[in-house]
Amino acid sequence: MADDAELIKRAHGVTHDRQLSPSAEAGGVGAALLTGNGKIYTGVCIDTACSMGYCAEHNAIGTMITEGESKIITIVAVDDEGRILPPCGRCREFIYQIDPYNSNTRVILPGGRVKSISELLPEHWREDKTARELAENSSKG
């Protein structure tokens, strides 16, 4: 299974900041995630002038979903200079909602720190018995 250094390398490897059009650019941030099946998916951000773009984490998650997976073990985002970036609030919420297990997803943070999505989303609005049970059952299988 891939380690954190490999995920960071893969995320940085897909960054290639480029102008797509006068109103869109892509690749300034790359993300890599490791799934429950041991696969790594990557993605880049797309930034547009009118807020229709999305983060690199969304791109990687979309590819993962397309391939039939939803459980994220570890995720990281890296800018084109190799700096690790914490996920924005929208990405944290997106990761959490994709699969009940993902409350346990390891997020690689700057400074060599790692936290779970549930640690990054304290007092979550969806935190109820059903969500906890689904996450616990999902992590067992």
- What confidence tens digit (pLDDT) does each residue in 2-23 have? 899 999 999 999 999 999 999 9
Coil vs helix vs strand at 105 = coil
What's the CATH number where 36 sits? 3.40.140.10
pLDDT level of residue 49 (50, 70, 90 thresholds): very high
**Average confidence score pLDDT of the chain:** 91
**pTM exceeds cut of 0.85:** yes
Q: Give me Rg for the CA atoms of the chain.
A: 15
| Residue 57 bears catalytic tag | yes
Cβ atoms of residues 100 and 139 within 8 Å? no
Specify the number of domains making up the chain: 1
Catalytic residue among 25, 57, 69, 123: 57
The pLDDT tens digits for 87-130 are 999 999 999 999 989 999 999 999 999 999 999 988 777 665 55
User: What pLDDT does residue 109 have?
Assistant: 98
Instruction: Give the domain extent around 51.
Output: 4-140
Q: What is the distance between the alpha carbons of residues 56 and 110, in angstroms, rounded to a whole number?
A: 17
